[in-house]
Chains A and B, each alone.
Chain A
Amino acid sequence: SQTIHQWPATLVQPVGSPLSLECTVEGTSNPNLYWYRQAAGRGLQLLFYSVGIGQISSEVPQNLSASRPQDRQFILSSKKLLLSDSGFYLCAWSVGQGFGYTFGSGTRLTVV
């Protein structure tokens, strides 16, 4: 069966520090991968999505970036965090059509 792993679960980082969040998927090949951010009262905001290795589409201009070095690995990064980067970051995958997205357990990031 397919599983998605996301870590760490919780992270507290100072302003200006770098960020690296990792997501891996097991049990499927060539998935579509997504990074979402969920801020309180603002729903899920799509940040990046990828349909294949090295293919990244950015939805929101910001100081975050994403990379997909392997088929089932998706990484969210930042060189210098801002206070506004605080939130709940969710990785998701999908394959095929009409089956919805499957989400990881999320990383709660607090920038202080």
Chain B
Amino acid sequence: QKEVEQDPGPLSVPEGAIVSLNCTYSNSAFQYFMWYRQYSRKGPELLMYTYSSGNKEDGRFTAQVDKSSKYISLFIRDSQPSDSATYLCAAHGPYGGATNKLIFGTGTLLAVQP
């Protein structure tokens, strides 16, 4: 079982739609959760990060973590064609602990149609 699981998609939505991207994880030691956006042939860029459970909002993006169900979500409101990219979720354990590295999901390819 992979430590972080993510549906690879592709996911195609019309412009203006609300997008929901999800991941699950298996290691209860994970404490930091991140979402990266990767455009084609580019390196991933950090989009959102959260610590432990809860929500975090930044503009059109909301990251949500539910540690009880080991579920990570990213919501994109009013999606734009420029949001078309691969979205990778990632999780990190306590710094200095046994899971002291960032583990990535396989990424979900999102296409927002104009």
Tally of contact residues, B, Cβ under 8 A: 24
A:26-55 near B, CB below 8 Å: 34, 36, 41-44, 46, 49
When C-beta atoms are compared, the residue in chain B nearest to A108 turns out to be B41
Question: In the complex, how many residue pairs between chain A and chain B have their CB atoms under 8 Å apart?
Answer: 54
Measured in the bound complex, the distance between the Cα atoms of B92 and A42 in whole Å is: 19
Q: Which residues of B contact A108 (CB under 8 A)?
A: 41
| Chain B residues in the interface with A (C-beta under 8 A) | 6, 8, 32, 34, 36, 41-46, 49, 51, 88, 90, 92, 95, 101-107
Q: Closest Cβ of chain A: how far from B47's Cβ, in Å? A: 9
B interface: dominant SS: strand
Find out whether the CB atom of B42 lies under 8 angstroms from the CB atom of A44.
no
Find out whether the CB atom of A100 lies under 8 angstroms from the CB atom of B41.
no
Find out whether the CB atom of B43 lies under 8 angstroms from the CB atom of A100.
no
Q: Which residues of B contact A44 (CB under 8 A)?
A: 44, 88, 104
- 25 A–B pairs (Cβ distance < 8 Å), ordered by A: A34-B102, A36-B104, A41-B8, A43-B6, A43-B104, A43-B105, A43-B106, A46-B101, A46-B103, A49-B101, A59-B101, A92-B43, A97-B32, A98-B51, A98-B95, A100-B32, A100-B34, A100-B102, A101-B46, A101-B102, A103-B43, A103-B45, A105-B42, A105-B43, A108-B41
Measured in the bound complex, the distance between the Cα atoms of B90 and A100 in whole Å is: 9
